[in-house]
Amino acid sequence: MRKTKKARWAADLSLSPPSSSSSSSGSSGDIVEKDGDDRLTELPDIIRLHILAQLPLQDAIRTGILSSRWRSLWRHRWPHPAVLDLSPHTVAASADDFVAGVDRFLSARGRGRRIDTLFVALSPGRRYDADIKRWIEYAASCSVEDLRLVVSPSSLAGTSARPGRRLRRQERAAVSSVFFHSVCECSNLTRLALSGLRLWSPSANIKRLSYLEVLDLHSAHVTDAALRRVVAACPLLRSLDLRLCRKLRRIVITANSRLTSLTIVDCPRAMEVTVSAPDLRCFRYSGNYLTSYSFDSPKRLKEVCMSSGSPPSCLPPSNWVKTLGGLSNIKVLTLCSLSLQYIAIEGGNATRECNNFRNLRELQLLMGMMTVDNLTNIYTFFRICKCPRLEKLFIELPTTMNDPYVENYLMVPKEEPPEVDFEYLKIIKINNFNGHRNEMQLVRFLLGKAGVLEPLMVITSKDFMVEEYINTVDGCCDSLHFLQSQLSRFTKASVNAQIILSDRDDNKFIPTHWEVYSKV
């Protein structure tokens, strides 16, 4: 156990008393609002801490937006450290020594002292079943509200393989288990995150987690049946995040009236997703295309992300286009190049299904390639899917030029741009720009159709070069300057349009789903 950690856990958390200026300003009954402060903020720290101690963890954290005097005050609402971060201080530390250190620390801390957040990071290579059960029991006795147990995938069995790889037999044998009925003893739990662990739920008659709102399962060994039981035991669950869960095939969420957000990322065996949650507002998916998407209330979805990292040799059968057509009230939409290909192939069917995204405000396109066909698919999308209120457009171009279709970049596309007008489109951002013919055609199209456009941000790729154009302009050796001059020649529908070209992203404009999609 790292000594510096112990010092931090045992740190003196005493707060300074109210300043003399505030105490001398008058009696408590004479406190008035001045300089933006309110009477609640002017209370002594000890009273404000008592107020925070009466609130659930999430509500206590939210008080940080009130003013600078409230910011991070929630961390000190108990007279002892309540946010515990237990992790090995070195990779070389043995698992047995780490477990012994955690046990000594918790024993010295004592039972019954409130815990807001307990984070335990475990080194792979051995089973922790009994240890995890013991620590969960301790956390339950301290009314923990946020529990996070992680077996780091970055060093599985000392290998350097990618996190999503298939585990060897001896590694699977070392995967620790968490029994859900043990977690259910934490009756005040509002957030649970498990990573690299096996989640068991052998019985349908398990105790309910009546206050759990957020459940994150990353690289977790969980079956379809276990997931259904766990979700059914969490009546207030509002956010479910599933990543790298290799055993999931048919993800079924039924009779959950509170779920508002569902995220599924890189679950390679998943084939179907069925969601019966009338309050679902956000669905984010990244991975292989599913054969079936089913939502009982698609018109209530406000945010949808559909991303597939690499195109298959042939398009698998899927009802995705029909599902997409039911998103009539969608406001934020992210689509990959494979989604655009589905829409283009469906043709007339897509026209009937996806003819009106009247409420769409933000669109992000993730292009795995930018060939003539890909440009045509973008044109087809805007021709079929009417987006009259679109305000923001983000386009991620390929991050690498090692593309079997790279020679098609220099071909003039035969497809004519669609006759559409973007009457409300104010912001366009294009990443990984290389100035190739198809990319330039796309910029020309957007500039000519966006009547109220303000910034067009163009971020070049890391390997951006324009050698094929350098010889055509005497004395031109600055690639960015040359590209700027080429872009400035395009006709602009907006008098306020400003082309901002840069080789680095200042993140001034960030798409809603930037953390979700797979790199393409």
CB 31 within 8 A of CB 18: no
Inside any domain, residue 167: no
The pair phi, psi for residue 200, each rounded to 5°, is -100, 135
Per residue in 439-477, is it b (16+ CB within 10 Å) or e — as a string?
bbbbbebbbbbbbebebbbbbbbeebebeeeeeeeeeee
Of the residues 240, 270, 301, which one is the last residue of a structural domain?
301
Q: Per the structure, how many domains does the chain have?
A: 3
User: For residue 357, what are its two tokens?
Assistant: 């995204």
Exposed / middle / buried, residue 346 (Cβ in 10 Å: 0-12, 13-18, 19+): buried
Task: Specify the pTM.
Answer: 0.78
332, 259: one domain: no
- pLDDT of the chain, 520 residues: tens digit per residue: 444 433 333 333 333 333 434 333 444 344 334 455 566 777 776 677 667 766 776 777 777 777 777 777 766 665 566 788 888 765 556 888 888 888 988 888 888 888 889 999 888 778 888 899 999 999 999 889 899 999 875 433 333 334 444 444 444 445 667 778 888 888 889 999 999 888 876 666 677 888 899 999 999 989 999 899 889 889 999 999 999 999 999 999 987 678 999 999 999 999 999 999 999 999 999 988 888 999 988 889 999 999 886 656 667 788 888 888 888 899 999 999 988 988 888 866 666 666 678 899 999 999 988 888 899 999 999 988 889 999 999 999 987 654 434 455 444 446 688 888 899 999 999 999 988 888 999 999 999 999 999 999 999 887 776 544 444 444 445 778 888 888 989 999 999 999 999 888 888 899 998 876 544 3
297, 316: one domain: no
225, 347: one domain: no
Of the residues 301, 325, 354, which one is the last residue of a structural domain?
301
Inside any domain, residue 8: no
258, 236: one domain: yes
Range of the domain at 269: 80-153+174-301
How far apart CA 265 and CA 134 sit, in angstroms, is: 31
486, 387: one domain: yes
324, 430: one domain: yes
345, 418: one domain: yes
236, 377: one domain: no
292, 351: one domain: no
Of the residues 234, 266, 301, which one is the last residue of a structural domain?
301
Neighbours of 61 (CB within 10 A): 17
**DSSP assignment, residue 416?**
P
CATH number of the CATH domain containing 412:
3.80.10
285, 314: one domain: no
Inside any domain, residue 439: yes
Inside any domain, residue 59: yes
Inside any domain, residue 6: no
Inside any domain, residue 401: yes
CB 217 within 8 A of CB 242: yes
214, 202: one domain: yes
132, 228: one domain: yes
Inside any domain, residue 402: yes
Inside any domain, residue 89: yes
